[in-house]
Structure 1
Amino acid sequence: MNQFSRNLLLWLVLGLLFMLLFQIFSKPEETEPERVYSEFSTALERGEISEVTIQGKEITGRYKDGDSFRTYDPGDTDLVSRLRAQDVKIEAQPEEGEPWYVILLV
């Protein structure tokens, strides 16, 4: 293996290592406890939820007592109308895409 090939291989390995470390340390802490959807639905019917953020299928929110939660929408087509009926503050965000470096690796 000549000098150029070894240098190129070294830079590729270092680049991949840097991207891996960046991905590991750039993930935000998951502070909301995960709840099954049926628990979320029951709390909604009881009027216990004050606000939600919907991002793709992920739903994060806060109960009226201040505790936070996270769950996933299984495809409930009536969810928004049920949230409005309970006067829950709704925030919608676009779904997160793949990080740019994952696209480069493909």
Structure 2
Amino acid sequence: HVLVTREVDGGLQTLKLTLPAVVSTDLRLNEPRYAKLPDIMKAKRKPLDVKSAEELGVALTPRVTTLKVTPPPTREAGIKVDSVQELLTKLRDEAKVI
């Protein structure tokens, strides 16, 4: 399970979701903190534990197969109109949108 808190009109709402779940975020989530120079120097001296994927029980074989990649169709060049009336005429008569 995962606990998620979100903003609603009346305040904050906390939800309990079962995994797997899709969670989206907004721009305010990642507000960077800047480390002080002494903390950076301490971090350089700290040992780094490295674990392999096998130790974590994770398979690295790809599970998605790409069948085909094609570019989108090219768009035709647009035109400029001089007035709203000309735009309405083109939309009505040529494009038959209105």
TM-score tier by shorter-chain length is under 0.3
Higher relative contact order (CA 8 A, sep 6+): 1
TM-score between the two structures when normalised by the length of structure 1: 0.23
| Structure (1 or 2) with the larger CA radius of gyration | 2
Query: TM-score w.r.t. structure 2 length?
Result: 0.24
More strand per residue? 1
